[in-house]
């Protein structure tokens, strides 16, 4: 199997899941196949808004009693200390404990072995004090242990899982004309365009604007999304089909396609999905009707912005990451506040939190740390193995 190509296909299912909780099992199914595992699990706990919390399992038919038994023994799980101590880093269970240590635990004897789990590979994602998220792939005793190569493969998914969860939260709360200029969406390297059934643009983020401004296969003409070449008319057809499916109560899966570029450059990989209507059953979604959402990746650009990397490595909020970015260009705090449209008082508060989270003590020290963060790989290389940046939290 071509892991790089399959990883990109799994990413498409991941971004599709950001629009609808019912699509997470499809992502987990594809991820299970990617890792040659028996099953996979994702869990997300929002400590601010419990309606955003969810847990989905694929490949295992565990009973409620089985899950409750694990919860009662979770504090004894010998895997958790290592897992929790390495946020944003893919780890497998045998990195820290032996077969004997795991098998001697009550968690293994009463839950894992009974439930068909022998080996686990996962990542612990945290966002400030707001959320707790984990993603796991699991193998049984008939399968081989996970290896460092599996960790490298999972590293390619980590920033996208984090991004998909932010998309899920913010797309569920979008309200056109009032609060569409989300810092989170604008800080993403992924082009995001929301359109209606006639391809009229309702929202686009900064990355989408930059791709459109290049005029190389995708353009904004008036208030409409125009895709040149064979897919020119099909984007409207796709949007209409997906929106109709949402209105019928049975949303179709998102459709991946390529946007040819007249310049002859590598095509833009794209995915069109649907948001709004009845399927966003979390967080009190603001949309009264469904819309299509188009994700566009530019293979010539990094698959993460520096702001996204800073958010992922240090748990910064989007606003804090943007301030750290501006300060790293040599601006004084007062000038940075003016550029970002925030008060100097707010900028000082942000800076204090940024210093705490990054383990720095002065602005000059922060700037050095930000400048030393390595650039993310380009989209075309984002699935390359090994070499994802930021596997370790707190890169210096």
Q: Is 92 in a helix, a strand, or coil?
A: strand
Residue 385 has a pLDDT of 47
Q: Are residues 271 and 125 in the same domain?
A: no
| Structural domain harbouring 324 | 306-375
- 237 and 210, same structural domain? yes
Which residues are CB-contacts of 395 (< 8 A; sequence separation ≥ 6)? 313, 372, 373, 374, 389
Same domain as 222, residue 156: no
Provide the pLDDT for residue 41: 95
Please provide the DSSP assignment of 202-251 as one string: EEE-HHHHHHHHTTSSEEEETTEEEE-GGGTTHHHHHHHHHHHHHHTT-P
- CA contacts within 13 A on the Cβ side of 242: 31
Domain-embedded: residue 382: no
**What is the spatial distance between Cα 352 and Cα 87, in angstroms, rounded to a whole number?**
22
Residue 49 falls inside a structural domain: yes
Same domain, 317 and 283: no
In a domain, 386, yes or no: no
Q: How many helices (H) and strands (E) does the chain have?
A: 17, 12
pTM, two decimal places: 0.83
Domain with residue 231: its CATH number is 3.30.450.20
8 plus 45 within the same structural domain:
yes
Q: Please work out, in degrees rounded to the nearest 5, the angle formed at the alpha carbon of residue 39 by the alpha carbons of 36 and 42.
A: 120
pLDDT tens figures, 174-232: 655 545 445 678 888 999 999 999 999 998 999 999 999 999 999 999 899 999 875 55
The residue among 208, 295, 228 whose CA lies nearest residue 15 is: 295
For residue 114, being part of any structural domain is answered with yes
Residues lower than pLDDT 70 in the chain: 1-3, 127-130, 172-183, 230-233, 277-288, 382-396
Residue 112 lies in a domain: yes
Of 120, 141, 168, the one marking the end of a domain is 168
Provide the CATH number for the domain around residue 143.
Answer: 3.30.450.80
Residue 381: is the preceding peptide bond cis (ω within 30°)? no
As a whole number of angstroms, the distance between CA 282 and CA 37 comes to 29
Structural domain includes residue 282: yes
Residue 200 and residue 279 in one domain: yes
Structural domain total, the chain: 3
Strand stretches in the chain, DSSP E: 39-46, 54-58, 91-92, 119-127, 131-139, 191-195, 201-204, 218-221, 224-227, 255-259, 268-275, 291-296
Assess contact for 28 and 286: CB atoms under 8 A: no
Burial tier of 318 (Cβ tally within 10 Å: 0-12, 13-18, 19+): buried
In angstroms, the CA 153 to CA 378 distance is 16
Residue 168: per-residue pLDDT: 84
Of 168, 197, 230, the residue at which a domain comes to its end is 168
Are 84 and 190 members of one domain?
no
Residue 396 lies in a domain: no
The DSSP letter of residue 302 is B
The pLDDT of residue 232 is: 52
Residue 327 has what DSSP assignment? H
Question: Quick one: 158 and 203 in the same domain?
Answer: no
**The CATH number of the domain where 334 resides is what?**
1.10.10.10
In a domain? residue 240: yes
Query: Burial of 66 by CB count in 10 Å (0-12 exposed, 13-18 middle, 19+ buried)?
Result: middle
* Domain shared by 116 and 150, yes or no: yes
Q: If you search the block for the tokens 């007249």, which residue do you land on? A: 262
Task: Specify whether 128 is located in the same domain as 232.
Answer: no
Indicate whether 10 and 134 sit together in one domain: yes
Which of 168, 202, 229 is at the close of a domain?
168
Same domain, 14 and 162: yes
> Please, which residues have CB within 8 angstroms of residue 225's CB and are 6 or more apart in sequence?
193, 195, 199, 200, 201, 218, 219, 235, 294
């Amino acid at each position: 199997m071509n892991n790089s190509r399959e990883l990109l296909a799994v990413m498409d299912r991941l971004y599709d899941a950001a629009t609808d909780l019912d699509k997470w099992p499809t992502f987990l199914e594809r991820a299970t196949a990617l890792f040659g595992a028996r099953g996979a699990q994702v869990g997300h706990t929002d400590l601010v808004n419990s309606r955003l919390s969810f847990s989905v399992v694929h490949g295992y038919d565990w009973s409620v009693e089985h899950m409750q038994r694990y919860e009662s023994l979770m504090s004894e799980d010998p895997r958790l200390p290592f897992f929790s101590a390495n946020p944003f880093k893919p780890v497998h269970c045998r990195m820290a404990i032996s077969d004997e240590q795991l098998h001697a635990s009550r968690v293994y004897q009463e839950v894992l072995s009974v439930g068909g789990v022998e080996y686990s590979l996962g990542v612990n994602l945290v966002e400030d004090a707001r959320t707790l998220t984990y993603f796991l792939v699991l193998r049984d005793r008939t399968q081989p242990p996970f290896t460092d190569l599996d960790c490298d493969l999972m590293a390619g998914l980590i920033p996208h899982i984090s991004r998909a969860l932010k998309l899920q939260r913010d797309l569920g709360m979008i309200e056109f004309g009032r609060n569409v200029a989300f810092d989170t969406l604008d800080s993403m390297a992924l082009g995001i365009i929301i359109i209606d059934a006639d391809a009229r643009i309702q929202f686009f983020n900064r990355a989408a604007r930059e791709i459109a401004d290049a005029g190389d296969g995708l353009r904004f003409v008036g208030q409409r999304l125009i895709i040149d070449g064979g897919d020119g008319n099909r984007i409207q057809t796709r949007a209409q089909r997906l929106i109709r499916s949402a209105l019928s109560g049975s949303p179709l899966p998102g459709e991946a396609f390529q946007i040819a570029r007249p310049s002859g450059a590598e095509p833009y990989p794209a995915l069109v999905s649907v948001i709004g209507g009845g399927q966003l059953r979390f967080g009190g979604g603001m949309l009264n009707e469904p819309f299509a959402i188009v994700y566009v990746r530019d293979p010539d650009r990094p698959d993460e912005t520096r702001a996204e990397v800073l958010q992922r490595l240090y748990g910064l909020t989007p606003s804090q990451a943007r301030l750290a970015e501006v300060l790293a260009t040599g601006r004084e705090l007062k000038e940075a506040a003016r550029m970002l449209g925030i008060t100097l008082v707010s900028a000082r508060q942000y800076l204090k939190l940024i210093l705490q989270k990054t383990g720095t003590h002065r602005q000059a020290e922060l700037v050095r740390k930000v400048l030393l963060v390595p650039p993310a790989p380009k989209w075309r290389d984002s699935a390359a193995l090994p070499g994802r940046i930021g596997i370790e939290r707190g890169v210096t």
